[in-house]
Structure 1
Amino acid sequence: MDIAQLILDDHHEQRRLFAILEEIDRADTGVLTAIWDRLSAFLELHAQAEEDIFYPALLQAGIAARRTAGVEDETLDAIHDHNEIRDAIAEVGRHRVGTDEWYAAVAAANAANSDHMAEEEREGLTDIRRLTGLPRRHQLAVAFAAFEARNYAGVEPVDKDPETYVRAMEGDPLVTTCGSLRVGSLKRP
């Protein structure tokens, strides 16, 4: 099991669920609601799992490999992207299911998520493969799978300040809070 592959599998599922929404008759609001509720909860769960497990590990691997600047930039961008995806999801909730406005908001969420996934697949996932060995990626995959399993019903969406997040993950003693992150167990001994 590899954290990079688990994230890619989640990305595939996200793309699949967005595609399903495009295939459902707009009058079938019950099904649209069910699929959207599943997808929106999954998007947030995936983002939180990345923020709790993947990005702290990527930052630590970058620090160890003396490639801090590159992984910092990737992480800053990813946290910013997650906030944009959360905002797009919230916008969907402001519209009646099946209306033109609802579909436009879903399309905007899809675009924000697609941009994020493409960038993450080109950069973050490539770097984690280059900077960490398979045993470490396996350890991260186990933690990632367990997090998603424990929180299958969803997690509360919480925007994060990207700069504060990165400083906290790098162990800046001046940063005392950054959401509900428990990263100590992910650092190498």
Structure 2
Amino acid sequence: MDITELILDDHHEQRRLFAILEQIDPAETDVLAAIWERLAAFLELHAQAEEEIFYPALLEVGIAARRADGVEEETLDAIHDHNEIRDAVAEVARHPVGSAEWFAAVAAANLANGDHMAEEEREGLTDFRRLAGLARRHKLAVAFAAYEARNYAGVPSIDKDPADYIREEEAKLRGPAPGSLSVGSLKRG
């Protein structure tokens, strides 16, 4: 078991659920609502699991490999993307299920999520496979699977400031350093 594979499995399921929504008659609002509710909850759970488990580990291995700037940038972008996906999911809720506006909002959420997944698959997951050994990826996969299982009913949707996220995670890794709030490209002057 490998955390990068679990994340890819989640991405496949997200793509599958978006594809299912595209194939349902707009008049079947109960079905659309049920599938969307599951997908919306899953998108948030997946984002939170990544933010709790994957991205801190990516930062840690990147710093250890002297690639802090690269993994910081990838993580900043990912947290920003998660916020955009959260906003897109919230927009869906503003429209009647099955309406043209609802489908347009779902398509926008799909686009935001698809862009994020593609970038993560090209960068973060690839870098992590290169920088972290299989034993580490397995241990993180266990934690990731447990996190999703414990929170199967959903987690609160909360936007995060990407720079604050990086500073907080790096502070956890390094412990308190006198006079320093961050490392790498995010040092405050």
Q: Normalised by the size of structure 2, how large is the TM-score? A: 0.91
Deviation at 1:122, TM superposition (A): 0.1
Q: Normalised by the size of structure 1, how large is the TM-score? A: 0.91
Deviation at 1:64, TM superposition (A): 0.5
1:40-65 deviations in Å (ceiling 9; x for gaps): 00000000000000000000000000
Q: For residue 48 of structure 1, what is the aligned residue in structure 2?
A: 48
Q: For residue 21 of structure 1, what is the aligned residue in structure 2?
A: 21
What is the identity percentage for the equivalent residue pairs of Structure 1 and Structure 2?
77
Q: For residue 159 of structure 1, what is the aligned residue in structure 2?
A: 159
Q: Across the two proteins, how many residue pairs are aligned to each other? A: 175
The root-mean-square deviation of aligned C-alpha atoms, in Å, is: 1.0
1:76-134 deviations in Å (ceiling 9; x for gaps): 00000000000000000000000000000000000000000000000000011000000
For 2:100 and 2:30, the matched residues in 1 are separated by 16
For 1:61 and 1:161, the matched residues in 2 are separated by 22
Task: Give the unaligned 5+ runs of structure 1.
Answer: 176-189
Q: For residue 3 of structure 1, what is the aligned residue in structure 2?
A: 3
Task: Give the unaligned 5+ runs of structure 2.
Answer: 182-189
| 2:171 partner SS | coil
For 2:24 and 2:109, the matched residues in 1 are separated by 17
For 2:58 and 2:145, the matched residues in 1 are separated by 17
Between structure 1 and structure 2, the one with the greater Rg is: 2
Q: For residue 150 of structure 2, what is the aligned residue in structure 1?
A: 150
For 1:92 and 1:23, the matched residues in 2 are separated by 17
Q: For residue 79 of structure 2, what is the aligned residue in structure 1?
A: 79
Deviation at 1:66, TM superposition (A): 0.4
For 1:96 and 1:28, the matched residues in 2 are separated by 12
Letter in 2 for 1:126: T
For 1:8 and 1:159, the matched residues in 2 are separated by 23
Are 1:30 and 2:30 counterparts?
Answer: yes
Deviation at 1:75, TM superposition (A): 0.1
Q: For residue 178 of structure 1, what is the aligned residue in structure 2?
A: none
For 1:132 and 1:111, the matched residues in 2 are separated by 30
Q: For residue 111 of structure 1, what is the aligned residue in structure 2?
A: 111
For 2:2 and 2:99, the matched residues in 1 are separated by 40
For 1:127 and 1:60, the matched residues in 2 are separated by 12
For 1:127 and 1:168, the matched residues in 2 are separated by 21
For 1:47 and 1:171, the matched residues in 2 are separated by 21
Letter in 2 for 1:68: A
